[in-house]
C-alpha cells in the first residue's frame, strides 16, 4: 500500500465514523428534538467534501511537465519575469538564489541532477552558474534566461605584467553609465587619468606603474552629476623588469635635458646623453657611438631638432634600427622648413604649420574642481601633425595633439611639438612631468617580453585557482604569512597543475624554487558588477555549447499546485464548523 492509499483509507474511515455518529444521533433523538433532514444531509456532504479536498491538498493531481526540463534558479532569479518557468516544470534553487516558493533547495547543480535523473535539458534563470556548477552543466543542453546586469563596471582588463617606470593601459566596459566618466586613481588616491566611456561602454585608461611591488589602484565611475556609481580595486603586481636604455642626443645644453636626466634617474632608467658643443665637439659617454650596434643595445632614442638635423648619413642607420624595434622620439617644435616636413612626410606624418602658442595640458581635475585650476602650461610649437597619419599620444586642453606616433617596421616613431616640459617641474608639477615622460617612453620604447603570471586573474575567496608548471616543492603564502604546500594533481600530467583555495582576501605569493608570483584575491562581495558579468559570460558560453531543443513528447508527471485545493478545503471546513454551531434546521425546543 502506498502512502497516498493509506491516507485515503484513513480519511474514508474518518468520514464513515463521523457520518455514522451523526446518523445515530439523528435516529435516537425524540421527534420533537430531531433536526431537519436537510441539515443532516448538508453536514454529511460537507464532511465528505472536506475529506476529498484535504486528500487533494496532500496529493494534488499530477500534471505533465516539459519533457526532461529542470529549471535552475541562481542569484537574482527574482529579477527575471516569472513566466519563463513553464507550468509544472521542476525547479531547484542553488545556494545563491533568493527565497523562492515551490523550489527545491540544493547545495549544487550536481546534487540537483542526482535528485532528478530524468533531466535532459536545463533552463538557468538569474545571474548564472558559479564555477562550482559549470562542469555539471557541460553535458546537457542549456538555455540561459539572464537577469539584467547591474549599473557600473562590468568588465576590466588589467595589464598583463606592468613593469616599473613604464606606462600601462587598463581597459574596461561599463553598463548603464550615461554621460558619466571613468577615473583611474593611484595607490595614494590621486586621480591620474579620466575617460568618457564610448556608447557601447568601453574605455581605456593609462597610468605610470611607478616602483616595483604590489600596489592597489582603483577604477572609479561617476555619473553625470559627479556621484560615485562604482569603485573597484585594480590590483597590480609591478615587476622590476629590465632597465630601459635611453639615449638622448641634444644639440646644445638646455634645461629640458637636465630634468629629463632627473626623471630617468627617478624611474630607474639607464640613460646616456650626448650634447653637442659646436665645432665637432660633444660631451657624453665616449663609448657611445651612433652606429647599428649601439642602436641595437638601446631601447629609446630622444633627439631634439638640432641633433636630428645634424645626424646626416647616420640617420639611415637610426631608421633601420627603428624598423628592427627601436623607439624614436623627435622633439620638433619648430620644424617648419620644407626639408624637415619632407622628411616627416617620408616617414608617414602629414604635417601643417600654425603659430606657436602657450597651451595647457589636459589636466585631470579633482571631482568638482575647475578644469583650468592649476593646469600645467607648455609651448605648442608651430609644427602640427595633421589628419589620421599618426596616433595622438598627448593632447592639450583644446584637444590638439602635442605628441603623436606611428609604427615603422617593428619599432615606433614619435613626434613631439614641444621642448619645454621642464616647466612642469618649475611650476610644481613634478608628478605630471614624470607621468608625461612615462607615457612617452612606455609607448615608444622597444617592447620587452613580460613574464606571464602563474595564477589566474580576478580570483575570489572560496573559489579554486589553478596554477600549472609547478614542482613538488611549490608553496603558497597567504596574506597572514601562513604557508601551505601545494599538491600537484597527477592527472594533469606534464602540465603539473595544482589547485589553490584562498580563504581570505588580499595578496598571496606563489613560490616554486627561485620563482615567485604574487596574485590578488578579491572578497566575495567585491566588484559585484564584474562578478555578475563573469557569471553571465561563463553561463552563456555553456549555453551556446549544445542547442536546447524542445521535446515533442509529454514530460514526466509531476505534482500539481497545492494552494487552490488548500483554499477550497479551508472554505468547506469553515462552512461545516459554522453549520454545526448554527441553529439553522434545529426544532424550536432545541433552539
Where along the chain do its domains lie? 3-60+562-581, 161-240, 245-444, 459-522
**Sequence-separated (6 or more) residues with CB below 8 Å from residue 52:** none
What's phi and psi for 318, nearest 5 deg? -65, -45
Whole-number Å distance between alpha carbons of 215 and 187: 6
- List the beta strands (DSSP E) in 164-288: 167-175, 181-185, 191-195, 202-208, 213-222, 228-238, 245-250, 270-278, 281-284
Per-residue pLDDT of the chain (591 residues), as tens digits, is 788 888 889 989 988 998 888 888 878 777 767 777 888 888 889 888 999 999 888 888 876 555 578 899 999 998 888 777 777 678 899 999 998 877 889 999 999 998 888 788 899 999 999 988 998 988 888 999 999 999 999 999 998 778 777 778 899 999 988 888 999 999 989 998 999 988 889 999 988 887 888 999 999 999 988 899 999 999 998 887 667 889 999 888 889 988 999 888 887 788 888 887 776 667 766 556 788 888 888 999 999 888 888 888 888 899 999 999 999 999 988 766 787 788 888 888 888 888 788 888 765 443 333 334 456 688 888 888 876 778 888 888 888 888 999 999 999 999 998 888 999 898 888 888 888 888 888 889 988 665 454 556 678 998 888 888 888 899 999 998 999 999 999 998 888 899 999 999 999 999 988 888 889 999 988 999 999 999 999 999 988 766 544 443 444 555 667 888 889 999 998 988 888 877 776 766 555
The bridge status of strand 391-395 relative to strand 401-408 is antiparallel
Q: Quick one: 459-522 is in which CATH superfamily? A: Immunoglobulins (2.60.40.10)
Which numeric CATH code is attached to 245-444? 3.40.50.880
Whole-number Å distance between alpha carbons of 196 and 198: 6
For residue 274, list its beta bridge partners: 249, 284
**Sequence-separated (6 or more) residues with CB below 8 Å from residue 231:** 218, 219, 220, 221
Domain at 161-240, CATH from 3.40.605.10, 2.60.40.10, 1.10.3290.10, 3.40.50.300: 2.60.40.10
Place of cell 580563504: 503
Q: Would the pTM of this model clear 0.75, i.e. be above it?
A: no
- List the beta strands (DSSP E) in 417-493: 459-460, 465-467, 475-477, 483-485
Q: Are domains 161-240 and 245-444 of this chain identical in fold?
A: no
Q: What size, in residues, is the chain?
A: 591
Amino acid at each position: 500500500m502506498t502512502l497516498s492509499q493509506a491516507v485515503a483509507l484513513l480519511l474514508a474511515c474518518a468520514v464513515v465514523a463521523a457520518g455514522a455518529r451523526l446518523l445515530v444521533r439523528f435516529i435516537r433523538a425524540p421527534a420533537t428534538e430531531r433536526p431537519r433532514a436537510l441539515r443532516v444531509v448538508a453536514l454529511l456532504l460537507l464532511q465528505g467534501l472536506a475529506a476529498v479536498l484535504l486528500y487533494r491538498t496532500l496529493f494534488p493531481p499530477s500534471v505533465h511537465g516539459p519533457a526532461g526540463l529542470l529549471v535552475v534558479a541562481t542569484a537574482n532569479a527574482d529579477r527575471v519575469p516569472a513566466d519563463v518557468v513553464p507550468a509544472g516544470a521542476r525547479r531547484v534553487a542553488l545556494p545563491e538564489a533568493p527565497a523562492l516558493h515551490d523550489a527545491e533547495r540544493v547545495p549544487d547543480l550536481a546534487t540537483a541532477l542526482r535528485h532528478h535523473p530524468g533531466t535532459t535539458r536545463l533552463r538557468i534563470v538569474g545571474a548564472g552558474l558559479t564555477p562550482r556548477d559549470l562542469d555539471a552543466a557541460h553535458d546537457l543542453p542549456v538555455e540561459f534566461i539572464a537577469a539584467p546586469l547591474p549599473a557600473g563596471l562590468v568588465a576590466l582588463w588589467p595589464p598583463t605584467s606592468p613593469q616599473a617606470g613604464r606606462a600601462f593601459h587598463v581597459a574596461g566596459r561599463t553598463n548603464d553609465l550615461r554621460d558619466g566618466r571613468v577615473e583611474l586613481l593611484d595607490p595614494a588616491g590621486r586621480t591620474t587619468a579620466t575617460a568618457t566611456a564610448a556608447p557601447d561602454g568601453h574605455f581605456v585608461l593609462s597610468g605610470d606603474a611607478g616602483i616595483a611591488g604590489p600596489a592597489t589602484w582603483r577604477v572609479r565611475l561617476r555619473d553625470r552629476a559627479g556621484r560615485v556609481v562604482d569603485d573597484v580595486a585594480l590590483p597590480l603586481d609591478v615587476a622590476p623588469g629590465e632597465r630601459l636604455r635611453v639615449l638622448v642626443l641634444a644639440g646644445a645644453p638646455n634645461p629640458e635635458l637636465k630634468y629629463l636626466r632627473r626623471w630617468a634617474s627617478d624611474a630607474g632608467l639607464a640613460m646616456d646623453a650626448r650634447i653637442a658643443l659646436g665645432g665637432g665637439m660633444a660631451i657624453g659617454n665616449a663609448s657611445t657611438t651612433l652606429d647599428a650596434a649601439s642602436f641595437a643595445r638601446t631601447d629609446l632614442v630622444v633627439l631634439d631638432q638640432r641633433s636630428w638635423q645634424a645626424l646626416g648619413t647616420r640617420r639611415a642607420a637610426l631608421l633601420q634600427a627603428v624598423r628592427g624595434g627601436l623607439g624614436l622620439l623627435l622633439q620638433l617644435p619648430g620644424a617648419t622648413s620644407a626639408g624637415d616636413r619632407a622628411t616627416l612626410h617620408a616617414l608617414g606624418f602629414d604635417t601643417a604649420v600654425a603659430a606657436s602658442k602657450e597651451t595647457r595640458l589636459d589636466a585631470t581635475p579633482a571631482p568638482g574642481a575647475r578644469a583650468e585650476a592649476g593646469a600645467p602650461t607648455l609651448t605648442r610649437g608651430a609644427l602640427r601633425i595633421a589628419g589620421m597619419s599618426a596616433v595622438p599620444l598627448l593632447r592639450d586642453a583644446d584637444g590638439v595633439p602635442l605628441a603623436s606616433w606611428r609604427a615603422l617596421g617593428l619599432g615606433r616613431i614619435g613626434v613631439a611639438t614641444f621642448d619645454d616640459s621642464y616647466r612642469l617641474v618649475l611650476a610644481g608639477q613634478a608628478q605630471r612631468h614624470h607621468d608625461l615622460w612615462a607615457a612617452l617612453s612606455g609607448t615608444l620604447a622597444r617592447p620587452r617580453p613580460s613574464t606571464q603570471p602563474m595564477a589566474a586573474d580576478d580570483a575570489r575567496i572560496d573559489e579554486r585557482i589553478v596554477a600549472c608548471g609547478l614542482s613538488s616543492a611549490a608553496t603558497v603564502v597567504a596574506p597572514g604569512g601562513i604557508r601551505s604546500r601545494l599538491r600537484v594533481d597527477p592527472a594533469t600530467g606534464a602540465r603539473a597543475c595544482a589547485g589553490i583555495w584562498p580563504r581570505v582576501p588580499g595578496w598571496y605569493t606563489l613560490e616554486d624554487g627561485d620563482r615567485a608570483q604574487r596574485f590578488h584575491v578579491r572578497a566575495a562581495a567585491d566588484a559585484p558588477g564584474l562578478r555578475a558579468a563573469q557569471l553571465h559570460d561563463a553561463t552563456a558560453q555553456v549555453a551556446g555549447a549544445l542547442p536546447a531543443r524542445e521535446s515533442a513528447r509529454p514530460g514526466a508527471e509531476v505534482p500539481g499546485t497545492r494552494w487552490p485545493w488548500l483554499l477550497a478545503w479551508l472554505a468547506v471546513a469553515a462552512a461545516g464548523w459554522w453549520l454545526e454551531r448554527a441553529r439553522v434546521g434545529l426544532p424550536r425546543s432545541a433552539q
